Amino acid sequence: MTEAEFHTLLQRYLDGHCTPEEQVLVERWYDRLEEADAHSLRSQNQEAVEDAIWHRLTQAQSVPEARVVRHPASFWQAPALRVAAALVLFALALSVLAPYAKHFQGFPFSDGVTLANGWTLRTNATQREQAFQLPDGSQITLHPGSRLRYNTNFDGPRREVHLEGEAFFKVSKNPARPFLVFTKQVVTTVLGTSFRVKAYAGSNLASVAVREGKVAVQARKNAKLEATPAHPAAAGILLLPNQQVVYSAASRHLKKELVDKPVVLVPQSFEFEERPVTEVLAALKKAYGVDIVYDKAKLAGCTVSITFYNEPLFEKLGLLCKSLGAYYSLSDAQVIIHSDGCQMKPGS
């Protein structure tokens, strides 16, 4: 959260314009800051802070006089004054707070809010990704503008979370307890792997992209919750690394395809000097885990000299095809090479 965003939230808190959820989060955050390192902050700067707040509150006239406390022993007991102190320090003495910067990481959504129904809600209204850990050890990176809800005890035969927005999941392996991510459009099931789910409110599209392992995806309506990657639902899609599925609410169709930027899964040597084209394609297939389809008869005997560096997969394919006078297309999660065969050198 930027200084301006933090300043705005605290000002809303002091003006009484925060939602109950935001008020609880602000006061929880400040209590945690106070318990950690604020004792040294108070001892070094308490008098200056009190004077600054006294001036601010007497001019604002939005805080009842009875809440303005000057006595050092009780000054830090009033939540509004504690937060006002943080506001003044941010506005007037950022250099004083610099050693405590670690406490502001992820504020104010670093802690989940326990709802009345026994669920925990985590919301990220900042401009940065927020990372946290679920009770089973699974690691979540929640993107800006996203919300994740899960059973506080995280018990039962299945580990279930409900997402609105976008998040990256690195799920702890537990074959006995599948991990399910529910969005408005789709249900994603894993036993333990890493993947990304994107399904923002108001969007007709939802997508699931896999970094490693296997992921089973189904449409939310009539989903078979007992399905797993080992035994996927008949109407579901099984995804492997560098693959994704996009669901359209308009067509109610799951479309399997490659992710926009496939990553290297198994590093390979990409230096080829007069090597068979089939060898180059095999190296790309192994490195990215991508199915590459081509006419073996037409490319038989074709050789190429080419070196790849840090280019993305699709750029590598483009360079290779250019050297062959060929082109490629994508179909589902496959790469298809279109070639009339290699151009033979004169005298060969």
> Is there a contact between 126 and 5 (Cβ–Cβ < 8 Å)?
yes
In Å, what is the CA distance from 36 to each residue of 27, 40, 86, 99, 329? Answer: 14, 10, 15, 12, 57
Q: Decide which of 320 and 65 is more confident.
A: 320
154 vs 72, more confident = 154
Query: Residue 115's pLDDT is what?
Result: 80
Residues of the chain with CATH 3.55.50.30: 271-338
What is the CB-side half-sphere exposure of residue 339 using CA atoms within 13 A?
A: 26
Query: pTM here?
Result: 0.66
pLDDT for the residue 139 = 96
For residues 188 and 24, give the distance between their C-alpha atoms in angstroms, rounded to a whole number: 32
Closest by Cα among 150, 181, 151, 184 to 168? 181
Which tokens in the block code for residue 84? 């006002």
CA 253 vs CA 199, 220, 235, 245, 276: distances in Å: 15, 11, 10, 10, 40
Q: What are the C-alpha distances in Å from 221 to residues 1, 30, 287?
A: 37, 42, 36
* Closest CA relative to residue 14, chosen from 52, 61, 50, 72: 61
State how far the alpha carbon of 111 is from the alpha carbons of 39, 134, 333, in Å.
22, 11, 38
CA distances from 178 to 118, 122, 135, 237, 245 (A): 21, 21, 14, 16, 20
Give yes or no for a contact between 124 and 86, defined as CB atoms under 8 angstroms apart.
no
- What Cα–Cα distance (Å) separates residue 309 from each residue in 280, 291, 313, 321? 14, 21, 10, 16
In CATH terms, 271-338 corresponds, of 3.40.50.720, 3.40.50.970, 3.20.20.10, 3.55.50.30, to 3.55.50.30
Res 199: pLDDT = 95
Average pLDDT rounded to a whole number, residues 160-187: 95
| pLDDT score, position 346 | 41
Whether 3 has a pLDDT exceeding 80, the answer reads no
Quote the CA–CA distance of 173 and 138 in Å, as a whole number. Answer: 9
pLDDT, position 120: 92
Give the residue-averaged pLDDT of 173-187. 95
Residues of the chain with CATH 2.60.120.1440: 113-258
Task: Give the angle 71-72-75 at the CA atoms, nearest 5°.
Answer: 80
The percent of residues above 90 in pLDDT, for the chain, comes to 55
The one-letter amino acid code at 228 reads T
Q: What is the pLDDT of residues 246-286, one digit of tens each?
A: 999 888 899 999 999 999 999 999 999 999 999 999 999 99
Q: What is the pLDDT of residues 31-57, one digit of tens each?
A: 555 444 444 444 444 444 444 444 444
Q: List CB contacts of 160: < 8 A, sequence separation 6 or more.
A: 150, 151, 180, 182
Q: Which letter does DSSP use for residue 335 in this model?
A: E
CA 319, CA 284: separation in Å to the nearest integer?
13
Confidence (pLDDT) at 272: 97
User: β-pairing, 159-170 with 179-182?
Assistant: parallel
Crossing angle (nearest 10°) for helices 38-60 and 20-36: 140
**What mean pLDDT, rounded, does the chain reach?**
79
| C-alpha R_g of the chain | 28
In CATH, 113-258 is 2.60.120.1440: yes
Q: What is the pLDDT of residue 317?
A: 97
Q: Is the pLDDT of residue 348 over 50?
A: no
